[in-house]
Structure 1
Amino acid sequence: MNKTVWIVLAVVAVIVVSVFSGYNNLVGMSENVNGKWSQIENQLQRRADLIPNLVNTVKGYAGHEQQAIQAVADARAKLGGAQGPVAKAQANSELSSALSRLLVISENYPNLKADKNFRALMDELAGTENRLAVARKDYNESVQGYNTSIRSLPTSIIAGPMGFGPKEYFKADEGAKQVPQVKF
């Protein structure tokens, strides 16, 4: 064989190895994004599981605050049915707002604030909120790395034809930037 054939074979081999390597890298990055999203869902579920206990504790002390209690229950149900990062972020924001109103109401009940169960639930909820913030940050960082990779050369050449599209960031909706208004 002459030199030209060897050069062509070497170029083809490099291209094939690059395509396989790029594909495998994208698969790994996509799975990383999916794993990070699962952690957000895990923390959202933990939060949703704590809320009925918190609501029942508040109900015992503030039964006539039914509107705030119902708002929390409705927001929790909406979060449970939300699909995808955008819908989950919006439902999460609504739940956070409803919880804020409920916690403001709890300020009017000193016996409730002193209740051991209420304090324990509040500590659990605060810990969950912190873990949720970390999970959202980790998810968005992995989405940023993945999206950067699929838009960069030479990976972008194989990303589209192989079905790798951009992933959505977990974004808070516009209302989350404002302090919730509590009206009695």
Structure 2
Amino acid sequence: MRVILLMVLAALLSGCGYNQIQQKDEAVKAGWSEVLNQYKRRADLIPNLVNTVKGYASHEQQVLTQVTEARAKVGQINVNADDAASLQQFQQAQGELSGALSRLMAVVESYPNLKADQAFLDLQTQLEGTENRITVARGRYIQLVQDYNTYIRSFPQNLVAKMFGYQPKPNFTVENERAIQDAPTVDFGAAPAAPPPPQPPQPAPAPQPAN
């Protein structure tokens, strides 16, 4: 009898989406691991990149320090992807590192010899490829979390999710979302007013006869 009850319970759980919840939860975990892997790949490139730039632009100390400190801050975060505050802190730190790297690349434009250095070119290529992989991994993770959250909030899977303690997962957000939403206003309807035509010179008044 117990075996039969277990079989019936397993069938009911399967029909209510228990197995799919497990699959989607594992997919989210795998997606998150890939995100971390690509961010780590970027962090591993930075020391060599900083040292190469320092060889040509040692006096750009402020920018070099910003990159090094931003990388160290990222490494100090013990992120928990299931905690919204932890994920936001992680995202903010990664954004600061991205900004520091952008400023470093802007400085490089002033050093033609550095831009021609083969070691730097190789590092730059690796960094660009890693940034692309980060974008792909983040995009895939966002989709996986959205799929998981939608599924466990739908009936009857929501009942099974509550029964076993599965909660919606936080997700990445768009940096500077308010600035993106508040687009600048551009009015193409009103043409600028034409400047007034130049006035012809007025003749000088005739001299008055003396009395």
Deviations 1:29-88 (A, max 9, x none): 111101000000000000000011110000111111111111101111111222133222
Structure with a larger share of its residues in helix: 1
Distance in structure 2 (CA, Å) of the matches to 1:128 and 1:88: 18
Does 1:62 pair with 2:45?
no
1:34 to 16, 29, 33: 29
Q: What is the match of residue 47 of structure 1? A: 42
Deviations 1:112-167 (A, max 9, x none): 00100011100000000111100001100100110001100000011022111111
SS at match of 1:160: helix
2:11 to 17, 21, 24: 17
SS at match of 1:171: coil
2:75 to 77, 80, 93: 80
Letter of the aligned partner of 2:175 in structure 1? D
Q: How many residues align?
A: 167
Q: TM-score, normalised by structure 2?
A: 0.74
Distance in structure 1 (CA, Å) of the matches to 2:65 and 2:45: 16
RMSD (Å) for aligned C-alpha atoms? 2.1
Q: Percent identity?
A: 48
Runs of 4+ that moved beyond 4 A: 175-178
Query: How far 1:91 sits from its partner (Å)?
Result: 1.1
List runs of 5+ in structure 2 lacking aligned partners.
81-86, 181-211
Query: How far 1:28 sits from its partner (Å)?
Result: 1.2
Distance in structure 2 (CA, Å) of the matches to 1:176 and 1:53: 35
Query: How far 1:176 sits from its partner (Å)?
Result: 11
Query: How far 1:106 sits from its partner (Å)?
Result: 0.7
- Most deviating of 19-28 and 102-111: 19-28
Does 1:157 pair with 2:159?
yes
Which structure's CA Rg is the greater one?
2
- More RCO (CA 8 Å, sep 6+): 1
Distance in structure 2 (CA, Å) of the matches to 1:156 and 1:130: 36
Preserved contact between residue 150 and residue 159 of structure 1 (Cα < 8 Å) = yes
- Most deviating of 82-91 and 98-107: 82-91
Q: 1:175 to 1:93 in 2, by over 3 A?
A: farther
List runs of 5+ in structure 1 lacking aligned partners.
1-8, 179-184
Distance in structure 1 (CA, Å) of the matches to 2:146 and 2:72: 30
